[in-house]
């Protein structure tokens, strides 16, 4: 399967715990984007990364959220000390390069904070 992979598909965390969401881009893609979808809303941009670089994090909350895309391995979106308002679907997308507008999405991780 050469598509965007995300895991886990479902994640349940208690308030105050940490959530780690992983994303492997499509083969041949070196650009990764994270989006969040709250219930009954559209997707909202969070962060854009290339290997070892954060290009645009203008959509990331200032606290508790961080993202990385290391040289080896998947991109990680990390949420520390989760709160109920973090419950959402988190989607990762990838594109081939910086001039390619089409982004291809993974199946998402549904985070539930209890």
Nearer to other proteins, 1 or 72 (CB): 1
By CB under 8 A, is residue 4 in contact with other proteins? yes
Which residues are bridge partners to 53 per DSSP?
50
CA gap 81, 77 in Å, rounded: 13
Q: How far apart are CA 76 and CA 68, in angstroms?
A: 5
44 binds other proteins per the rule CB under 8 A: yes
Q: Binding of other proteins at residue 51 (CB under 8 A)?
A: no
25 near other proteins, rule: CB under 8 A: no
- Nearer Cβ to other proteins (100/114): 100
Pick the closer one to other proteins by CB: 87 or 105: 105
Is residue 83 close enough to count as binding other proteins by CB under 8 A? no
């Amino acid at each position: 399967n050469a598509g965007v992979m995300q895991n886990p598909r479902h994640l349940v965390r208690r308030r105050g715990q940490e959530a780690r969401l992983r994303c492997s881009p499509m083969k041949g893609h070196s650009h990764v984007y994270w989006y969040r979808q709250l219930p009954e809303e559209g997707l909202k941009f969070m962060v854009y990364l290339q290997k070892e670089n954060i290009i645009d994090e203008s959509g990331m909350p200032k606290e508790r959220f961080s993202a990385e895309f290391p040289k080896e391995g998947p991109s990680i979106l990390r949420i520390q000390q989760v709160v109920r308002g973090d419950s959402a679907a988190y989607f990762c997308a990838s594109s081939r390069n910086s001039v390619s507008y089409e982004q291809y999405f993974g199946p998402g991780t549904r985070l539930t904070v209890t």
